[in-house]
Amino acid sequence: MNDLGIIGGKIFDGARSYIANIYIRDGRITAITSDYLESKEDYPAVGKYVMPGLIDPHVHFSLSLGKYRSADDFESGSISAAFGGITTYIDFLDPVTHEDEIDEKFLKRLEEAKSSHIDYSFHMTIAHPDIDPVILAKRTLALGINSIKTFTTYSTSNRMTDNGYILDLLSITKKYGIIETFHAEDDAIILHRSKMKKKQLPQDLPFLHPYESEMSAAMSIAAMAKMTNGQAYIVHNSSGISVKMIKKLDASANLRLETCPQYICLNDDLYERDDAYLYTLVPPLRSRLESVYLHKAFKDGSISTVGTDHCPFKKAEKFENRFNYDSMPNGIGGVETSFVLLYNMDRSEKNVNTLVNMQSVNVAETFGLKNKGKIAIGADADIAIFDPSVKWTISISNLHTKADYTPYEGTDVIGKFISVISRGRFVIKDGEFVGKRLKGKFVKRRKVFWPTR
């Protein structure tokens, strides 16, 4: 007998939509059928959208920045994510420079993540590395991780990796089945702009981190990825113009791009406000025109995935640095609102499948989450159930983050995740968190090989 049947919902699998029943046993999907099968529990989903649980490839829970720590730990962050339809996320190890740091930083993150109520994985992170790239690749894979985060900027805090190492690492990504991911900004441009400002304010962010900086670094990465037949992934693309330029290099087989909802839904007009400090993040918000270009790239398939870069801090922590951007903890929240914001830009069924692809199917395929991101027999029963008729207003009062503000305060939206299932068990049921006793698992990711050339 099945443990659970989800009855009569409209399934969106990223390719098509259809009405069927889904049956689950022992945490896996056992049947997808129009027939009625016996289950211990039936969950009625008529009139609801049923999709594979979303996967966020880019979050920062319990991120330490010295004096500050991001508002959400793994417990609160995972709960907030679940209310946003997310059943798996990928966080980051603290930056590694030397080989002997790897195990310690991995075990530290594993311990912190024990409080998560949904599944998780990690990206390796390097900073000014002094590790042979082949050894780094092998050690990373041995941990069950297949992606390595690299910074092309932040030389002043020793997080930057030079192009020589980047090229060497990219050249072995295809051989070893790893992905090199990038925070892409041109360090020299940022340093030059910083010297032009005696005092840096939150309002200066678009000047200090211009789109040209992102475009310069992204173009370089795209060229190296194509030249090496490597596997490169650029996180939080904020510039539509950058994406437009990258397309001209015809490197799409070797380079995948992620964007975040904030770069489509918000713009740099917010830096003209007195509370501009609440919207500090890097890359910063861009112009309205950039947002339009980025949305076009989103719709034409130039963007592969959507992450949130979820990293909120408290209002007071932002406020106390409003006259000194150098000390500002950067980041905003987004795991709970990501899907619904992008859905409300186009509530067509076609767009639902686009979002399922970009927020679930493509993420799983890109990062080798083989049992995730799909409604299929044998797959993990990670399922998000969305009611397209619910009208509500986004407010910090009805979100589940530990942050005390949201950049989307007062935004009216239609549609809400009402129930979310992780490995066959409800985490959210009829709008209530019921997963207190559930704990997520660390998902090991093996070698991954994209179709390149």
Structure tokens at 207: 């000047």
Residue type, 77: G
Residue 235 confidence (pLDDT): 98
The ranges of the chain with pLDDT < 70 are: 453
In this prediction the pTM is 0.98
2-51+381-433 and 53-367 share one fold? no
CA dist 4 → 18, 26, 98, 424 (Å): 19, 10, 48, 8
Residue type, 234: I
CA angle 262, 283, 303 (to 5 degrees): 60
Sign of the C-alpha dihedral, residues 297, 299, 304, 305?
positive
The set of residues, in sequence order, having a beta carbon less than 8 Å from that of 43 and lying 6+ positions away, is 4, 5, 6, 7, 385, 419
Residue type, 339: F
**DSSP class of residue 57?**
S
Residue 198 confidence (pLDDT): 85
Residue 21 confidence (pLDDT): 98
Residue 277 confidence (pLDDT): 98
Residue 145 confidence (pLDDT): 98
SS3 387: strand
The set of residues, in sequence order, having a beta carbon less than 8 Å from that of 274 and lying 6+ positions away, is none
Q: What is the CATH number of domain 2-51+381-433?
A: 2.30.40.10
Q: Find out if CATH 3.40.50.300 is the number for domain 53-367.
A: no
Instruction: Tell me if 97 sits within 8 A of 127, measured CB to CB.
Output: yes
Domain ranges of the chain: 2-51+381-433, 53-367
Distance, in Å, from the CA atom of 234 to the CA atom of 149, rounded to the nearest integer, reads: 9
Residue 452 confidence (pLDDT): 82
Sign of the C-alpha dihedral, residues 249, 250, 256, 258?
positive
Q: Which is nearest to 124 in space by CA: 108, 100, 140, 101?
A: 140
Convert the pLDDT of each residue in 292-348 to its tens digit. Answer: 999 999 889 999 999 999 999 999 999 999 999 999 999 999 999 999 999 999 999
181-210 as b/e: b if 16+ CB within 10 A: bbbbbbbebbeebbeeeeebbbbbbbebbb
Q: H or E segment at 220?
A: helix 211-228
